[in-house]
């Protein structure tokens, strides 16, 4: 009970601080957190609804070298190895705009990478302090398909779009689970 009270207090304090900075905040309960994670993982809602039943169920996840499966959904994750020029001075997400859309470069890149035909695409961006106080940028992309064929088509479209944008992606072969975790809303991981 003490740990629960501590967690509630920390969540309330963080919520208050973020609200004070102008953000809209909603603290989720346990059921809502489970729902958000299941939705973000593209878990099949019909299978998820049966998860709490007492009868034994088959394993819901499986990792192969190029994909991770949860229920009947298949995922492939990529790490961003090389970023294109994103700002006037090379700064990621810089304020300069290029092209005809007028949209800043980073949102345009994310829109391009997540516009592939698939059940879902997910982009995650992590900022961290680098070795010399610079900002280190880490990105991951996950494509999700209902079948192996749909996933293969999504992978090809994503890889082609990344090449056209000058972005270097590396498929996380044999490391799909860490890539999957990097694209879930877990508040960051080291």
pLDDT in tens, 79-105: 999 998 876 544 444 443 444 455 568
- What percentage of the chain's residues is helix, strand, coil (to nearest 5)? 35, 20, 40
- What does the alpha-carbon distance between residue 46 and residue 60 come to, in Å, rounded to a whole number? 12
Q: Which of 154, 189, 148 is nearest to 62 (CA)?
A: 148
Domain residue extents for the chain: 1-41, 63-86+103-189
Q: What is the model's pLDDT at position 152? A: 96
Q: Classify the phi-psi angles of 116: left when phi > 0, otherwise alpha if psi is within -120 to 50, otherwise beta.
A: beta
Residue 133, classified by CB atoms within 10 Å of its CB into exposed (0-12), middle (13-18) or buried (19+), is: exposed
Q: What is the model's pLDDT at position 164? A: 92
Q: What is the model's pLDDT at position 57? A: 64
Q: What is the model's pLDDT at position 49? A: 67
List the chain residues with pLDDT less than 70: 47-53, 56-57, 87-104, 187-190
Q: What is the model's pLDDT at position 93? A: 44
H or E element, residue 2: helix 2-20
Q: What is the model's pLDDT at position 117? A: 93
Topology of 63-86+103-189 in CATH? Alpha-Beta Plaits (3.30.70)
Q: What is the model's pLDDT at position 177? A: 85
Q: What is the model's pLDDT at position 70? A: 86
Q: What is the model's pLDDT at position 140? A: 94
Q: 0.85 exceeded by the pTM?
A: no
């Amino acid at each position: 009970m003490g740990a629960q009270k501590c967690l509630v207090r920390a969540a309330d304090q963080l919520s208050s601080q973020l609200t004070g900075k102008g953000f809209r905040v909603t603290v989720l309960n346990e059921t809502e957190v489970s729902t958000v994670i299941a939705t973000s993982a593209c878990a099949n809602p019909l299978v998820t609804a049966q998860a709490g039943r007492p009868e034994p169920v088959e394993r819901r996840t499986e990792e192969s070298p190029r994909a991770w499966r949860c229920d009947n959904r298949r995922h492939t994750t990529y790490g961003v190895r090389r970023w294109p020029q994103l700002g006037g001075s090379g700064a990621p997400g810089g304020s300069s705009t290029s092209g005809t859309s007028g949209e800043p470069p980073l949102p345009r890149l994310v829109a391009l990478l997540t516009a592939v035909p698939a059940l879902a695409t997910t982009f995650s961006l992590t900022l961290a302090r680098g070795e010399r106080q610079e900002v280190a940028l880490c990105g991951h992309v996950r494509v999700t398909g209902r079948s192996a064929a749909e996933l293969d088509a999504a992978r090809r479209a994503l890889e082609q779009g990344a090449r056209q944008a000058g972005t270097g992606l590396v498929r996380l072969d044999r490391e799909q689970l860490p890539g999957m975790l990097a694209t879930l809303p877990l508040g960051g991981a080291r």
